[in-house]
Amino acid sequence: MKKWSLISLVFVCSVMFLVGCNPRTQVKTEKPADTKTPKLDAKIYSYKTDSNGFDTKNFFYDNGKEVVVFDSQFTGQYAQKSIDFIRSKTKSPIKYLVITHPNPDKFNGMKAFQAIGAKVIASNQTNKAIEGVHKYKQYYFVKIAKMFTEKTYPQPGKVDIVFDKSHTIELSDGDKVELTELGTTGVSSNQTIAYIPSKNAYLVGDLVHHQAHAWLEGGIVNGQPSPDLQAWIQTLDQVGQMAQKDTKAVIYGGRGESAPAQKAIDAQKAYLKKAEQIVGDYVKGLGDKKGELKTDKANAHYTAIEKEFVKAFPSYKLSYMIRFGVYGLALSKLQ
């Protein structure tokens, strides 16, 4: 994927999101949570891209005999880098790839995993949403940002295993991964949660960005961004109720840090409430200039909103997520 400077993209139409370009690839092993039934050879790994891949993490659960992957990365190239990373850590075969929600950095790279024999699993809601989200994002990256051509933009594969409300991945030695489709709005139009009992681990995609700024575009519904932070908060409450059964539960989010479940949920809820206030107050303060959010002046406003978030959350990382993702929330305030 070509690297593009922020300067070359900042004046792009504000109704589509943009990409940060400060490459910095990092990989690390997440510290596993304490377990009720220890599996001494089981580990949870994470791979994180640079900002051209949206600083996205995908996770790998290696129980010593098999690997389950959670989310695929934005392009086939990034997916392959994550595959190379996990192969440097274990000889266990990659058996499954779980898509946690319908955003392109979660499903675009699925073909790379299918090419090595992994089966892709997604909820029925995610599977149905992929086509519309893919069309929306491809238009932006090809026609607006011109970062790809029609031929080079990633084409997601077809999901192999589709489930409705829940699905259990049965692994060796009685090990398992439990998937639950919450069916409610969060960072996207719907959300699947993965629970690994042996690791007290909840893998929640971008529903939680602990100590990192969130993507506030909203789910893509009928070709339009549809943010609903109150619904996102209610979805977090659902996860909190699920995690109550495990006092040692740890949440692994698509960006930011892993953290004890209730701590991560409470922090994310507080962040979203403040986000609603910051963006609402800013748009209201524009008065007669609100219409500028639909013009080429919009990016200056989004940069100003980013600065307000940095003031409110000085320790949080990835502030570019606000500058390029807040358009969805900001435009919703015009309605």
- Residue 289 within any structural domain of the chain: no
DSSP designation for 165: S
- Residue 281 within any structural domain of the chain: no
Q: Which domain holds residue 99?
A: 22-267
Q: Is the pLDDT confidence value at 294 over 90?
A: yes
- Residue 186 within any structural domain of the chain: yes
For CA atoms 120, 122, 128, 133, give the dihedral sign: negative
Contact between residue 255 and residue 262 where contact means Cβ atoms under 8 Å apart:
no
- In this prediction, residues 125-145 reach a mean pLDDT of 95
pLDDT, mean over the chain = 90
Query: How many angstroms separate the Cα of 149 from the Cα of each of 7, 153, 272?
Result: 20, 6, 35
Q: Which of 56, 54, 50 lies closest to 18 in space, CA to CA?
A: 54
Q: How far is the C-alpha of 72 from the C-alpha of 97, rounded, in Å?
A: 7
Can you read off the two tokens belonging to residue 140? 């932006």
Cα 249 off chain centre by = 20
Q: How many folded domains does the chain comprise?
A: 1
Can you read off the two tokens belonging to residue 208? 């939680």
- Residue 200 within any structural domain of the chain: yes
Q: Which pLDDT band, with edges at 50, 70 and 90, does 37 fall under?
A: low
Q: Is the pLDDT confidence value at 7 over 90?
A: no
Q: How far is the C-alpha of 197 from the C-alpha of 176, rounded, in Å?
A: 7
CATH classification at residue 199: 3.60.15.10
Query: Could you report the per-residue pLDDT of 129-138, keeping only the tens digit for each?
Result: 999 999 999 9
Decide which of 33 and 176 is more confident.
176
- In this prediction, residues 152-175 reach a mean pLDDT of 95
Which position has the token pair 């994002």? 137
Contact between residue 46 and residue 27 where contact means Cβ atoms under 8 Å apart:
yes
- Residue 184 within any structural domain of the chain: yes
pTM: 0.88
Q: Which of 87, 23, 32, 84 lies closest to 251 in space, CA to CA?
A: 32
* pLDDT on residue 4: 43
Query: Could you report the per-residue pLDDT of 66-122, keeping only the tens digit for each?
Result: 999 999 999 999 999 999 999 999 999 999 999 999 999 999 999 999 999 999 999
- Residue 173 within any structural domain of the chain: yes
- Residue 179 within any structural domain of the chain: yes
Q: How far is the C-alpha of 327 from the C-alpha of 335, rounded, in Å?
A: 13
DSSP designation for 217: S
- Residue 320 within any structural domain of the chain: no
Write down how long the chain is: 335
